[in-house]
């Protein structure tokens, strides 16, 4: 816990009071020079009592200053949270969960919108450090900026939790007061593939012996997008299914871009498209709009899967308009992030190779969707 300058000054003043009083106890008054003066009284016991009383006062003042310091930062302290952009649907859910948990525990928390601009977020991190926050929770704009972010928080000695976008283990090993809390995106990709394998024809709607798909990817620089893209298809090939990639386009996690990509691909490839893989639900909902506009029917002549289990996507799964999604547990990750932050504030350090904490994904289908609504 960091003490404010005002509190530190109070503690120092109390200690100076104690020091000066103790030194004053050694002074004495010169004896009278007259021959018939009465013998000087022994005042050593009185002076000792004064010193003891002053020491007690100084100790009490120091304790009051320490108590004031604790009160100044609340139960847990001042926390800075950097989100890559506020208008991301999943990160809005995550941010709300973080705010509820942190404020419920008595923390003072400030959220900053990175506006999908890494330079902007770097400035926000530096400002938080200059303000003397006790800990940082950072959702990086760019995974490739991890080295710079880690170097910055390490130089400042600020305990830091990274969320949602995972650096490499080697990058994180540079700082032992750093931890990542999130999900293993390979698992989410695998589950997307399993959702297709669980359909009656394993995704091969036209019966030509292969699954022809389009992939609407988030940000190809993002490790989650990379793993979801790779492992959704790998689940099919590992099961012995032949696949054909008709198109792979970057959708930047955005609903409108998902709609645009799906619309263009449906116009180009038509009935050849049997499966639409989307790296997140927002893009999947955009793709659904294009599918419906093209006169196609999900779960009859085309399959559609996403990731996150947003409320809107859960409704579409329940209504039969999405084949399924994968729960990206925002609340569970928020709880894990705060728990890890509190351990760091308590002095815990993390060894290399032990700095990633994962929360499991869950497949969501029409059979279990009500469990999540």
What pLDDT is attached to residue 142? 93
Single out the residue of 147, 286, 308, 289 nearest to residue 225, CA to CA: 308
Q: pLDDT at position 121, please? A: 98
- How confident is the model at residue 76, as a pLDDT? 61
What does the mean pLDDT of the chain come to? 86
The pLDDT assigned to 57 comes to 56
CA distances from 366 to 161, 197, 210, 275, 304 (A): 35, 15, 25, 17, 13
Residue 272 predicted with pLDDT over 70: yes
Residue 44 has pLDDT above 80, yes or no: no
* pLDDT tops 50 at residue 3: no
Q: Residue 36: pLDDT band by 50, 70, 90 thresholds?
A: very low
Task: For residue 158, report the phi and psi dihedrals to the nearest 5 degrees.
Answer: -95, 125
User: What's the pLDDT band for 249 if we cut at 50, 70, 90?
Assistant: very high
Question: Residue 250: what are its φ and ψ, rounded to 5°?
Answer: -85, 125
pLDDT at 296: 98
Q: Between these two residues, 251 and 40, which has the higher pLDDT value?
A: 251
Q: Is the pLDDT of residue 59 over 60?
A: no
Q: Find the mean pLDDT for residues 10-37.
A: 38
**pLDDT the model gives residue 12:** 43
pLDDT in tens, 210-240: 999 999 999 998 889 999 999 999 999 999 9
Confidence band of 60 (pLDDT split at 50, 70, 90):
low
Quote the DSSP letter at residue 205: T
> What local confidence, expressed as pLDDT, does residue 75 receive?
57
Pairing of strands 275-278, 325-327: unpaired
**% the chain with pLDDT above 70:** 80
Region 133-144: mean pLDDT is 96
Amino acid 25: pLDDT = 40
- CB 320 within 8 Å of CB 345: no
pLDDT the model gives residue 4: 39
Quote the pLDDT of residue 201.
Answer: 98
The three-state secondary structure class of 296 is coil
Tens of pLDDT, residue by residue over 333-355, are: 999 999 999 999 999 999 999 99
Mean pLDDT of 134-140: 98
């Amino acid at each position: 816990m960091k003490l404010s300058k005002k509190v530190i000054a109070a503690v120092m003043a109390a200690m100076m009071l104690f020091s000066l009083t103790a030194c004053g106890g050694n002074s004495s008054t010169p004896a009278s020079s007259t021959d018939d003066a009465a013998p000087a009284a022994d005042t050593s016991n009185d002076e000792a009592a004064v010193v003891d009383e002053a020491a007690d006062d100084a100790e009490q003042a120091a304790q009051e200053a320490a108590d004031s310091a604790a009160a100044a930062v609340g139960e847990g302290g001042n926390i800075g949270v950097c989100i890559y952009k506020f208008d991301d649907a999943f990160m809005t859910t995550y941010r709300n969960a973080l705010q509820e948990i942190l404020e419920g525990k008595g923390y003072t928390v400030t959220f900053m919108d990175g506006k999908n601009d890494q330079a902007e977020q770097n400035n926000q991190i530096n400002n938080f450090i200059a303000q003397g926050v006790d800990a940082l929770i950072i959702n990086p704009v760019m995974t490739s900026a991890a080295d710079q972010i880690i170097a910055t928080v390490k130089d400042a000695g600020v305990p830091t939790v990274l969320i949602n976008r995972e650096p490499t283990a080697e990058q994180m090993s540079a700082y032992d007061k750093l931890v990542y809390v999130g999900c293993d995106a390979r698992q989410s990709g695998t589950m997307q593939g399993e959702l297709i394998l669980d359909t009656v024809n394993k995704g091969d709607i036209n019966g030509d012996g292969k699954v022809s798909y389009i992939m609407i990817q988030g940000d190809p620089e993002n490790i989650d997008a990379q793993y979801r893209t790779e492992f959704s298809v790998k689940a099919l090939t590992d099961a012995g299914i032949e696949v054909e990639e008709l198109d792979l386009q970057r959708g930047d996690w955005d609903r409108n871009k998902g709609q645009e990509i799906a619309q263009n691909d449906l116009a180009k490839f038509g009935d050849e498209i049997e499966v639409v893989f989307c790296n997140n639900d927002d893009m999947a909902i955009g793709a659904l709009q294009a599918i419906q506009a093209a006169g196609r029917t999900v779960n009859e002549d085309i399959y559609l899967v996403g990731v996150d289990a947003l409320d809107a996507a859960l409704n579409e799964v329940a209504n039969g308009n999405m084949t399924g999604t994968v729960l990206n547990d925002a609340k569970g990750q928020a709880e894990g992030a705060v728990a890890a932050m509190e351990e760091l504030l308590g002095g815990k350090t993390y060894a290399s190779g032990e700095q990633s904490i994962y929360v499991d994904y869950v497949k969501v289908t029409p059979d279990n969707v009500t469990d999540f609504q």
